[in-house]
Amino acid sequence: MSESPTPKPRAGRTAQGRRRVRGELALAALDLFAEQGFEATTVDHIAEAAGISRRTFFRYFRSKEDVVFPSHDERLGEVVDLLDGADPTADPLRVLAGTAEVVLDMYLAEPAVSLKRFALTRQVPSLRDKEITSIDRYQRVFARFLRARYADRPGGELHAAVAAAAVVAAHNHVLRQWLKSGGAFDAKAELRTALDSVQAALSAPRPAGEGNVVVGVLRTAAPTDAVLAQLEHALRDLPQH
């Protein structure tokens, strides 16, 4: 489709600018996507706009959709490293919460890019699917991490799967709200409180474990002091070991 017989000066041919070319390529592609839509934009268009060959495009990106999600694999790798190097004595859900915050930071680091991508993924089904699968990879990594930590307790695998899903869901919800709002509020703090509530709900139930479990349901209309006193009384009656 290149009917222009011009030899093309091919700017930016420095060998060390590998990542830079990739970035410019992605930028040109995103602009075209925003202009005329994702489906309507062919790889030939992108290549021509970037001043490179169609074949070269596929040397930088494995697919047309990959342009929208640059270096997603690397980010997943960072997460894996983070979890692998986590303190084994720390609360697994705390570790996961911290990791989720790191992931959120990845989006928050480049708000403009994230918002552009969000606008795209909302419109293009194939991109949305692509994002869903990449989210699932995170969830899978999370679940694997928890499975290892919960290996000893009964029902640990189930709990790991559920907890990982819950953490990811909380992260996605906060991120989505933030993206919808155009980046208006403090997503980091919001995620923190969200994960706190998730952790509170999920770290609790150890049914039929070795350690005894007591569940207290209190109405806060009662004075806090009275509640605590009653609780203390109840706890003292429990067999300690």
Partner DNA sequence: CATCGTAACGGCACTGAGTGCCACCATCAA
Partner DNA sequence: TTGATGGTGGCACTCAGTGCCGTTACGATG
What torsion, rounded to 10 degrees, do the Cα atoms 81, 83, 85, 87 define? 170
DSSP string, 32-91: HHHHH-TTT--HHHHHHHHTS-HHHHHHH-SSTGGGTSTTHHHHHHHHHHHHHTS-TTS-
Among 24, 27, 31, 43, binds DNA (CB under 7 A): 43
- Do the Cβ atoms of 157 and 147 come closer than 8 Å? yes
Residue 173 interface partner, choices its own copies, DNA, none, CB cut-off 5-8 Å depending on type: its own copies
How many other CB atoms sit within 10 Å of the CB of residue 56?
13
Nearer to DNA, 11 or 217 (CB): 11
- Do the Cβ atoms of 68 and 120 come closer than 8 Å? yes
- Do the Cβ atoms of 109 and 179 come closer than 8 Å? no
- Do the Cβ atoms of 160 and 123 come closer than 8 Å? no
* 52 binds DNA, rule: CB under 7 A: yes
Residue 65 interface partner, choices DNA, its own copies, none, CB cut-off 5-8 Å depending on type: DNA
Among 20, 35, 42, 90, binds DNA (CB under 7 A): 42
Residue 63 interface partner, choices its own copies, DNA, none, CB cut-off 5-8 Å depending on type: DNA
Residue 206 interface partner, choices its own copies, DNA, none, CB cut-off 5-8 Å depending on type: its own copies
Nearer to DNA, 3 or 232 (CB): 3
Cα 139 to Cα 89, 92, 219: the distances in Å are 22, 14, 35
* 65 binds DNA, rule: CB under 7 A: yes
Nearer to DNA, 36 or 193 (CB): 36
Binding letters toward DNA, positions 148-187, x by CB under 7 A: ----------------------------------------
Shortest distance, position 139 Cβ to DNA, whole Å: 24
* 11 binds DNA, rule: CB under 7 A: no
Structure tokens at 57: 């495009």
* 58 binds DNA, rule: CB under 7 A: yes
Shortest distance, position 105 Cβ to its own copies, whole Å: 19
Number of Cα atoms under 13 Å in the Cβ half of residue 151: 5
Binding footprint of DNA on the chain (CB under 7 A)? 2, 8, 10, 13, 15, 18, 21, 41-44, 51-56, 58-60, 62-65
